[in-house]
Structure 1
Amino acid sequence: MRDVDWNLLNSFLAVANMGSLSKAAAQLGSTQPTIGRHIEQLETHLNIRLFDRTQKGYKITELGMQLAEQAKSMKQFADNISLIAAGKSQQVAGTVRITASEMVAVNHLPQAIRHIRNLHPEINFEIVANNRTDNLLEREADIAIRMYQPNQDDLICRKVNDLAMGIYVSQNYPRFDELMALTPTDITKFLSHDFIGYDRDTMIIDGFKQLGIKSNGKDIGKHHFNIRSDSQEVNWHSLKAGLGIGFQVVSLCQTHADLHPVFTNYDLGTMPIWVTAHREVKTSRRIRLVYDQLCDYFSKI
């Protein structure tokens, strides 16, 4: 039997992990027909059936599962080789791929990158704005900026800041004057106002419980929020538009004159900022330079 083409195995692994051709193609930056051909070629080459085709997608067979375990080991070796090679690169010119949450990518990364490019215009950047955990070990990104400590092995993580959180409202809010006239003891009247919160994320609801704030003797629930979205960017713009009271980073709100703090007697705690990179990539001069610059920038916001 001839050696198996790694591209076929890579497509096979993606389908095994994602469960469909379309999702695998999106993950690999390929097309659905190409991934489909790779699966057929691999099955023909090995003379085995790797997937059962069902209406719900591709269901991996028992033989396919055995092959997937071996292919994962091969991919790990390939990823390690890429990481070691990248780590030995001492050239500054090139591209750095950064992943960050929507809010950080929109409100902070452009300023940080502008400063870096003023010093090193030969460095290009790719920005991935999402709130999921990108796998640095598989080079989905070179550097990650997160509001929590990553728990993957072989990562360099530096906590660079703790951002104070606060309760804010916009002057555009229809009941702005009424709200600003309340005292810290007017909690019932405070809860009668419109609020902006998350849809599925329970962080704000959990915060109300920790503060002991209830509505008519009952815990604050999801439906107490008039505007709900798990998108940080949507909630931020909803706050600025005056749709209700929001929970945001104090330093960011302080840069907008139309936003005002309310009920400052409540301590909402802080949100940490972690800058993370793979330890092998950290030895790359280009990525080490960007990593250090990002740590410096986010330590001062």
Structure 2
Amino acid sequence: MYDWNDLRYFLAVARTGSTLAASRTLGVNQSTVARRIAVLERAVGIKLFDRSQAGYALTNCGLELMAAAERVEVEARAFADQARAIGRRVSGVIRVTTNEGLANGVMAPALTAFRRLHPEVRVDLVVDERRLDLARGAADVALRTGARPTEAGLVGRRLKPVAWAAYCSRKYVERHGRPTSVEALGQHAVVGADGPIAVLPGWTWLRRVAPDAEVVATSSSVTNLISAVKSGLGIAVLPCFLADSDPSLVRCFGPIEGAQSDLWLLTRENLRDVPHVRAFIDFLASHVASMRHVLSGKAASRQA
């Protein structure tokens, strides 16, 4: 059986008339061309060229095979072109993980816009306060808050940080007033965090600066915490991009210095250049950048 790759040498010699000219066309040594032609002739059992000092001339058998070799060449190029087109196609499935707050406040509107641009890409969103192991394939892309990732095999972008502030409801202000400083928190009821979300900067800051504040309830769900604050139960430290969008909440003070969350967009190193993953990462990074005033807490906030 002959090596299909040897047809390149056959066509180059047939078109140029010599192994020297063919070697220049192919970017290889002349001896390599001569050797591959000899190997091809032995493999097919036919003499393809007459050799002379003037060069290589196709035999009658070589002439008969020329058209077939050119058809193989055309199909090989078509195969390569189609492979490149498939590689450029923005389609496929991406498994994305993030926490509840980012899923609702950032990811949901982003997915709608991304879908309009890339309708052949499906995004499966895994909402979990725990950090899924990207390196082990639990997800393809993660949008996370926290410190710089240290896991091996991950690459990421540091996006705009997330600001936090203290919030309560209008009902609460009517009954108990609005604290306007950290020191005033000691005279107010506080709704705290529990579970995986308790390590986020806003709540770790609150425990550090107001250890004597009365904690009247805790929750492991950001959405439930916001609902508790809206009901008038107490004051909570919340991400500005979530709380500022709710008309029933009032910002007491903030954004709080030292309570920002770094925001990271991560994927595995072997996925970053996959077309549909790259398209999603680039789009989400741009979307987050467009939200910088909201994420930084500089958008208009309501006060009682």
TM-score range for the pair, normalised by the shorter chain length: 0.5 to 0.7
Instruction: Give CA deviations for 1:58-106 in whole Å, capped at 9, x if unaligned.
Output: xxxxxxxxxxxxxxxxxxxxxxxxxxxxxx9543121111000011112
Question: TM-score, normalising length from structure 2?
Answer: 0.60
In the alignment, what sits opposite 2:152?
153
Instruction: Give CA deviations for 1:257-285 in whole Å, capped at 9, x if unaligned.
Output: 22111144953531111000011100100
Q: Equivalences for 1:186-197 in 2 at 5 Å?
A: 187=184, 190-197=185-192
Q: 1:93 aligns with which of 91, 94, 100?
A: 91
Distance 2:248 2:234 in 1: 13
1:186: how far off? 6.4
In the alignment, what sits opposite 2:273?
283
1:178: how far off? 3.2
User: Does the residue aligned with 1:287 lie in a helix, a strand or coil?
Assistant: helix
Task: Say if 1:159 and 1:255 are closer, same or farther in 2 by CA, change over 3 A.
Answer: same
User: Would you say 1:102 and 2:100 are equivalent positions?
Assistant: yes
Q: Equivalences for 1:108-187 in 2 at 5 Å?
A: 108-148=106-146, 149-173=148-172, 175-176=173-174, 178-180=176-178, 184=181, 187=184
User: Does the residue aligned with 2:266 lie in a helix, a strand or coil?
Assistant: strand
Distance 1:265 1:284 in 2: 38
Q: Which has the higher contact order (CA 8 A, sep 6+)?
A: 1
1:205: how far off? 6.0
User: Does the residue aligned with 1:131 lie in a helix, a strand or coil?
Assistant: coil
Task: List alignment gaps of at least 5 residues for structure 1.
Answer: 1-87
Q: Equivalences for 1:177-256 in 2 at 5 Å?
A: 178-180=176-178, 184=181, 187=184, 190-200=185-195, 201=198, 206-208=204-206, 210-211=208-209, 213-215=210-212, 224-256=214-246
Task: Give identity over the alignment, percent.
Answer: 22
User: Does the residue aligned with 1:140 lie in a helix, a strand or coil?
Assistant: coil
Instruction: Give CA deviations for 1:190-241 in whole Å, capped at 9, x if unaligned.
Output: 4232211113536556424543x353xxxx5xxx311201222221222233
Task: List alignment gaps of at least 5 residues for structure 2.
Answer: 1-85, 292-304
Distance 1:132 1:229 in 2: 15
Instruction: Give CA deviations for 1:110-169 in whole Å, capped at 9, x if unaligned.
Output: 100001011111111101000112111222111001002322111111111111110011
1:293: how far off? 0.8
Dislocated runs of 4+, deviation >6 Å: none
- Could you tell me which amino acid in structure 1 is paired with residue 228 of structure 2? S
Question: TM-score, normalising length from structure 1?
Answer: 0.60
